[in-house]
Amino acid sequence: MVRLALIGCGRNASVLAEAIGASENCELAFAIDIHEQAALNIATAVHAEPYVGDLAQLLQERSHDIDAVVVNTPNDQHAHDANAAVSAGKHLLVEKPLALTSETAGALHDQARSSDTLLMVAHTFRFMPSVQQVRRALDAGELGRPGMLRIHRWLPISTDSSSEWENDTKRSGGLAIHESIHEIDQALWLFGEHPDQVHAVAAPHHVQIHLGFPSGAMAIFDVMTGLPPGEGYYALTLIGSLGSAYADDHHNMQLVYRGGRPEAFATHQHALGVNAQIKEFIAAITQQRQPSPSAPDAIAAIHIAEAANQSVLKGESVRMPADDHAHE
């Protein structure tokens, strides 16, 4: 049984705690937050022990009771908390992005590798049922060689006071780092290659990113925040040399088309994706293997998001270096 400590009991913490509780091979030992009530709420829900304070302090006091750490704190705290966990020799699942810069993320990866600790990053969209179906169609050869990927994701205004930091670009990293990194990771995962060209345009609450790949494939995605509370939309289209696949979300009704065969099913995409993500993390620990997504995957996504930000500032495309795989 893998004993987990969850730090950051605000937004998304309840979904993480429920996913941990639903797993047969792990349990939530500690719920950690600087706010006592937040820690207590999560701990009570899954019969964990609440802890008010810093992760490093808890690891000094109760290290023998913890096997791995899940970091769910604001983006600007990820590196601090990840460093504390890795320094204590604990396996680690970090909410995306791994860090606010690819340089810091690379240093964390090097530290984890040298201390023989597992480091996974929560790019949850890989695990969502509709995206998994598209990937299965691709792996089965139904779509042929992938050529064009397009993703739309439109998000509502957050009314959660614990996520106010998301509106501060110095803390969140901005929209490309904080949100579009999901779409970047999906493109890397589905195409199996890294782009050599990045172009982006942005406005308040909206960013659109174009990726060009050495194979000639392209990815285009736009992410917008600021919709009315309760609203939201996600759609993915992947066109290949032999066929195409679509995943279209209308209020948790997934419409998936693979090779001309439509399938509709109702599902809570995010919750099921988090459940599968926790299972992958625990399996990687118990099987002593690298997880998916790996730290190098996360670093690559951050590097591309940085290039997107650079493109917005310069008003022109950014060429990616051919050796952009230093941490693999």
Query: 197-210, pLDDT tens digit by residue?
Result: 999 999 988 999 99
Rg of the chain over Cα atoms, rounded to whole angstroms, equals 19
The answer, yes or no, to whether residue 308 has pLDDT greater than 70, is yes
CATH of domain 2-123: 3.40.50.720
Q: What is the structure's pLDDT at 201?
A: 97
Q: Tell me which fold the domain 125-319 belongs to.
A: Dihydrodipicolinate Reductase; domain 2 (3.30.360)
Q: What is the structure's pLDDT at 164?
A: 82
Q: Do domains 2-123 and 125-319 have the same CATH topology?
A: no
Total-model pTM: 0.92
Q: Return d(Cα 59, Cα 11) in angstroms, integer.
A: 23
pLDDT category of residue 311 using cuts at 50, 70 and 90:
very high
Query: 22-53, pLDDT tens digit by residue?
Result: 998 999 999 999 999 999 999 999 999 999 99
Give the whole-number percent of the chain exceeding pLDDT 70: 90
Domain boundaries, the chain: 2-123, 125-319
User: Do 99 and 295 contact (CB within 8 A), yes or no?
Assistant: no
